[in-house]
């Protein structure tokens, strides 16, 4: 069951990748036993490449000019400290639109943030109506995922304004309400101290 859940999460991580459309998706596990998924063997840290496993997944085509990466302008500010149990998943408490709370798994291998429709609707985000879609491509076929705009996403005092996120129910409860991806994390300097169980986000 755990292997199936991790595979399904891996499929979701190919959303709107920015590299070549035919790049291979790899799974690798760090020294703390935390799994990561990344686009291409060159994206796997050198020390883990020998253990990286290709998943047989390929990226969907890169988004066009009207895709979610072109919608809205991000503005980042503030900093945050997140504590976690070493060797366990890094679960992060976030605020959506300054009010509704959700818990997301921090994943530096995920290009896009995915949040359950329930958590988005609790924040007043409209799911129905015209939206941008992204495609999940896997060994068993493909699936469309809606992207919606949130006015802000906050982790402590670290805040990114107006950004697109995927409205999707992940096929496992092990990641809380979704994934916190690099579209948020790349707006900050991110330091993960695996030994102490501390993640810090600071302004670039």
Got the DSSP string for 103-149? Answer: EEEE-TT-SS-EE-HHHHHHTT---SSS-EEEEEEETTEEEEEEEEE
Q: Per residue in 96-112, pLDDT tens?
A: 999 899 999 998 877 88
pLDDT of 95 strictly over 60: yes
Lowest model confidence (mean pLDDT) among 10-19, 65-74, 145-154: 10-19
Q: Per residue in 160-183, pLDDT tens?
A: 998 888 888 877 667 799 999 889
Question: Regarding predicted confidence, which is higher, 46 or 9?
Answer: 46
- Report the mean per-residue pLDDT for the chain: 74
How many helices (H) and strands (E) are present in the chain, helices listed first?
Answer: 3, 14
pLDDT > 70: percent of the chain: 65
User: 3-class SS at 37?
Assistant: strand
How many CA atoms lie within 13 Å of 181's alpha carbon, on the beta-carbon side? 24
Place of tokens 């359950």: 116
User: 3-class SS at 68?
Assistant: helix
Alpha-carbon distances, residue 44 vs 15, 75, 151, 185 (angstroms): 18, 28, 33, 18
pTM of the model: 0.64
Of the candidates 92, 96, 112, 84, the one whose C-alpha atom is nearest the C-alpha of residue 196 is: 84
Distance CA 183, CA 21 (A): 19
Q: Would you state the pLDDT for residue 39?
A: 58
Tokens linked to 43: 């994206």
Distance CA 154, CA 163 (A): 11
Query: Residue 189 CB: number of other CB atoms within 10 A?
Result: 12
Q: Would you state the pLDDT for residue 185?
A: 93
Query: Residue 74 CB: number of other CB atoms within 10 A?
Result: 15
DSSP annotation of 98: T
Query: Residue 128 CB: number of other CB atoms within 10 A?
Result: 9
């Amino acid at each position: 069951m755990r292997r199936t859940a991790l595979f399904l999460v891996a499929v979701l991580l190919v959303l709107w990748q920015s590299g070549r459309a035919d790049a291979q998706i790899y799974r690798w596990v760090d020294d703390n036993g935390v799994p990561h998924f990344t686009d291409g063997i060159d994206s796997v840290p050198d020390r883990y490449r020998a253990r990286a496993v290709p998943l047989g997944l390929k990226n969907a085509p890169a988004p066009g000019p009207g895709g979610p990466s072109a919608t809205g302008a991000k503005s980042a500010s503030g900093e945050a400290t997140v504590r976690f149990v070493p060797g366990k998943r890094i679960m992060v408490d976030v605020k959506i639109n300054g009010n509704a709370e959700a818990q997301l798994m921090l994943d530096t291998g995920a290009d896009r943030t995915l949040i359950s429709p329930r958590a988005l609707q609790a924040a007043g985000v409209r799911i129905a109506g015209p939206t941008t879609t992204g495609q999940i491509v896997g060994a068993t076929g493909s699936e469309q995922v809606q992207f919606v705009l949130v006015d802000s996403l906050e982790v402590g005092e670290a805040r990114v304004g107006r950004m697109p996120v995927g409205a999707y129910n992940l096929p496992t409860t092990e990641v809380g309400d979704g994934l916190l991806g690099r579209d948020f994390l790349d707006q900050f300097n991110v330091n993960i101290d695996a030994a102490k169980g501390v993640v810090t986000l600071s302004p670039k």
